[in-house]
Structure formats: structure tokens, C-alpha cells
Structure 1
Amino acid sequence: MTEPIFELNDIVVTVNHGTPEQINIMDHVNLSVFPGDFITILGSNGAGKSTLFNVIGGNLPVTSGQILLNGKDITNMSVEKRTRFLSRVFQDPKMGTAPRMTVAENLLLSEKRGQRRGFAPCHLKTHMDKFKQITSVMNNGLEHRLNTATGKLSGGQRQALSFLMATIKRPDILLLDEHTAALDPQTSQELMTATNDQITRNHLTCLMITHHLDDALKYGNRLIVLDNGRITYDIAGDEKDNLTKEELLSFFNDIEE
């Protein structure tokens, strides 16, 4: 039997300790992520989706419980050290890139993620053919803008670059935090198609927050529903494949389609 690559064991995150407003925003969460899992995550506002990602990324300390990577306890590991095995793409296209650096310079920088480095632009030319090939898979013309400052790209191109930067080193865990939500519908679907292709082709292990029911049903091999800091549904395989939009809507209320 395949062993999980990543585990959350009985994770609790408590805020407002010792006050009448004390609450568990992560309430005894257990989650096993297996190699090659592509998990879509749904939940109404305040359900705990961002909290879950912040716990996985190390941005939010846990009150109790244990986080394991390949069986090793990383509960107290820093955000910086987690970048050696984890990448995250945020909703805002501006968050994952350096606007004054070119597309190629951003990609070169991302190749050194999690390493001690001295950035040397003089070596950029030797990487251009590789970067052109890498960017061409996004099918949005990014390969023709390698020498363009990232701040001058369209939102879709910039978010595609963020995705490429997050995956160029093949992270053990990829977190997609509503990475298409800030884009227009057509650009969103183009990026989602490219995202799915790259995750599938490169056998990446990914968790993706989305508010789009259709995307949650269409993509990935597992679907998780969060409610009040708990995982209320974890559906995989044939059960997910046969799940209808109407059945999914019945799981919870107040979710944007």
C-alpha cells in the first residue's frame, strides 16, 4: 500500500485563547495526502480553507497535533525551510512574481528556491532556450515575452508565470490558492486547463482551493469539503467521478458557483 507523502494528524488551531470568543478555526483535522493526489478543496467563506493552507505552509502555528512529511515531523519547521519541498500560488497574480524583473529573471530566481544563492543575471543567456520551452506549454504567448518586465504582463500571463515558478523545481507539495479567481472567465479556464495538464503530465501532488463547483468536479482525483474548520467530506475515485453538481451543492450552503 502506498504511504502518504504528507499528513495532518489531529490538527487544532485555536484563536482568542482565554476569552469568550475562543474558537478552534481548525478543529481536529486529519488528512493524508498521497503521491500524485490532486485534491480540490471547497467550502463556504470562513470554512477554514485559507487556514488549512497556512497550516500546511507553516504560516500559522498549530495549537496541537502533528504535521508529517514522508513520516518526518515538521510541525515546527519554518516557512523558509518548507520552501524546499512546498510551493504556493496565490489568488493575486502580483504576489508570486517580482514586477521589475523580466520573465526570464523570475524563472532563474525560482530555480534557486530553497537554496543559498547569489543571483547572477550574467548567466541568463544560457537558460533562455530552456525558459522558452517551459513557458510555451502555457499556450498564452509567454514564451515571446521572456525579456519583458513581469509588471507589464497581463494578469493571465503573470499568473501563468507564478504557476511555472512554483512548479519549475517539482515541489513535493503544490498549493493552488484560488489561483484563477482574479482572472476573467476565459483566461481562468485557459490557465486551469494548462494547470491540469502540467500537474497530470509531471505527476505533481497538489491541493487546490476553488469556489467553482464545475472545476472541483472536473479536475483532480479527490475532493474535500471544509466546514467550520473540519473536513466534512473527502471523496475520491469512482465516487468523485460520479458525483453530480446537485449532490455537491447538497453538502453545504452559501458557496459561490
Structure 2
Amino acid sequence: MTKPLLELKDVVLKVNRNTPEEITILNKLNLTINAGDFITVLGSNGAGKSTLFNAIGGDLSIDSGQILLNGHDIAHESVEKRTRFLARVFQDPKLGTAPRMTVAENLLLAERRGQRRGLMPRGLKHHLAHYQELTATMHNGLDQRLTTATGNLSGGQRQALSFLMATLKRPEILLLDEHTAALDPRTGQDLMHLTNERVAQDQLTCLMITHHMEDALTYGNRLIVLHHGQVTYDVAGAEKQALTSEQLYSFFAEIE
């Protein structure tokens, strides 16, 4: 039997620890993620969606439980160590890129993520042809702006760059934290289509937080719902394909 790629076992995560304002955000959460899963993540505000990603990414330390990658507990590994196997795209297009560096420089930085850094020539020119080909897949003019400072890009171009940077080295786990939410509807859908293509093409294992029911139903092979820090609904395969927005709304109405 194939081992899961990532497992969260009885994960508890609290904020404002040891104060009267202490709150349990993840409450003995259990989740098993198999290689190649594309999981859309739904939940109301405060359900624990971003906290789940922060726990997986190491931005927040858990209070108890296990986070297992290929059977190895990574719960206490640093954010830096986790960049060897994990990449994340945030909701804000300004996060994840260096604004004063050019598009090409940002891509080179992403290509060297997780590597030891020393004093050595950048070799940027040798990568330009590849970066132009790569950015052209975004179909938004990014390939014509390789020498442009990232801070001067449009929001859609900058988010497309963030996505390219996150997927450049084919991470074992890709976290998409509402990565189209800050974009206008057309730009967001364009990026969503490209996301789906890249995840399928590179067979990435991906979790995507979204507030759009239709996107949650349309994309991915699996859908989960978080409520009060637990996975309360988990549907995959043919059952997910048959799921309707009306059924999903009804489920939300029952748990609220």
C-alpha cells in the first residue's frame, strides 16, 4: 500500500497561549494527503484554513500532534528547511516576490531556493531564454518584462510571477492561499486555468484555499471543508465530480 505524502495527526494549534484570550484554532485536526492530490479547501472565516497552511509551512508552531512528510515528523522543522519541499502563493500579489528585483532576478532567486548560498556569479544571462519561454506560458505579457522591476508589474502579472516562482522547482507540496482573490474576475480566472494546467502537467500535490464554491467544485480531485479547526467534510473522485453547489451550500447551512 502506498504511503501518504503528508499526514496531519491530531494537530492542535492555539494562539494567545496561556492568556485569557487563548483560542484553539486547529482542534485535533486529521488530514491525509496523497501524492498527486489537488485539494480545494473551503470553510467560513475563522475555520482554520490559513492556520492549517501556516502549520504545514512552519510559520506557526503546533501545540501537539504530528505533521508527517513521507512518514518523517517535520512539525519542528524551520520554515527555511521546509522550502526544500514546499512552496506557497499568498493572496496578496505583493508577497512572495522581491519588488526591487527584476522578473528574471526573482525567477533566478526561486530557482536557487533551498540551496546553499555563497559568493558566485549569478549566471543570469544563461537563464534568460528559458525564463522568456516560461513566462510566455502565462499569456499576459510577462515575457516582455523580464528586465522590469517586479514592483512595477500589474497585480495579475505579479501574481503570475509568484505562481511561476512557487512551481519552478516542482515542489512536493504546493499551497495556494486564495491566490486569485485579489485579482479582477477575468485575471483571476485566467490564472486559475493556468494553475490547473500546471498542476496537472507537473503532477503537483496541491492544496488550494478558495471562497469560490464554483472553483472548489470545478478544480481538483478532492474537496475538504474545515469547521472549528477540524476537517468536517472530505469528498474525492467521482463523488466530488457529482457534487453540486446546492448540496455544498446545504452542507454549510447544516454546520453553521
Task: Give TM class, smaller chain.
Answer: over 0.9
1:162-201 pair list within 5 angstroms:
162-201=162-201
The question of whether the paired residues in 2 share the 8 Å contact of 1:89 and 1:175 is answered with yes
Which residue does the alignment assign to 2:158? 158
The question of whether the paired residues in 2 share the 8 Å contact of 1:109 and 1:119 is answered with no
Aligned mates of 1:44, 1:34 — CA distance in 2: 25
Which residue does the alignment assign to 2:82? 82
Deviation (angstroms), 1:22: 3.7
Answering whether residue 106 of structure 2 is matched by residue 110 of structure 1, we say no
Q: 1:122 to 1:4 in 2, by over 3 A?
A: closer
| Cα distance per residue 1:33-76 (max 9 Å; x no partner) | 11110000001110100110010001111111011111111111
Which residue does the alignment assign to 2:92? 92
Which residue does the alignment assign to 1:139? 139
Aligned mates of 1:184, 1:32 — CA distance in 2: 33
Aligned mates of 1:119, 1:239 — CA distance in 2: 53
| Cα distance per residue 1:84-110 (max 9 Å; x no partner) | 100000000011111111110100011
Which residue does the alignment assign to 2:39? 39
- Please tell me the residue identity of whatever aligns with 1:64: S
Deviation (angstroms), 1:128: 0.7
Q: Determine helix, strand or coil for the equivalent of 1:95.
A: coil
1:201-240 pair list within 5 angstroms:
201-240=201-240
- Please tell me the residue identity of whatever aligns with 1:117: R
Aligned mates of 1:17, 1:148 — CA distance in 2: 44
Q: Determine helix, strand or coil for the equivalent of 2:88.
A: strand
Q: Determine helix, strand or coil for the equivalent of 2:193.
A: helix
Moved more, 19-28 or 132-141: 19-28
| Cα distance per residue 1:173-212 (max 9 Å; x no partner) | 0000000000000000000000100000000000000000
Q: 1:121 to 1:158 in 2, by over 3 A?
A: farther
| Cα distance per residue 1:130-157 (max 9 Å; x no partner) | 1111111111111111111111111101
Deviation (angstroms), 1:121: 6.6
Percent identity between matched residues is 68
- Please tell me the residue identity of whatever aligns with 2:210: T
Q: 1:137 to 1:111 in 2, by over 3 A?
A: same
5+ residue gaps, structure 1, are none
Moved more, 118-127 or 78-87: 118-127
Aligned mates of 2:120, 2:158 — CA distance in 1: 23
Q: 1:231 to 1:120 in 2, by over 3 A?
A: same
Q: 1:120 to 1:157 in 2, by over 3 A?
A: farther
Q: Give the TM-score taking structure 1 as reference length.
A: 0.95
Deviation (angstroms), 1:18: 4.7
User: How many pairs does the alignment contain?
Assistant: 254
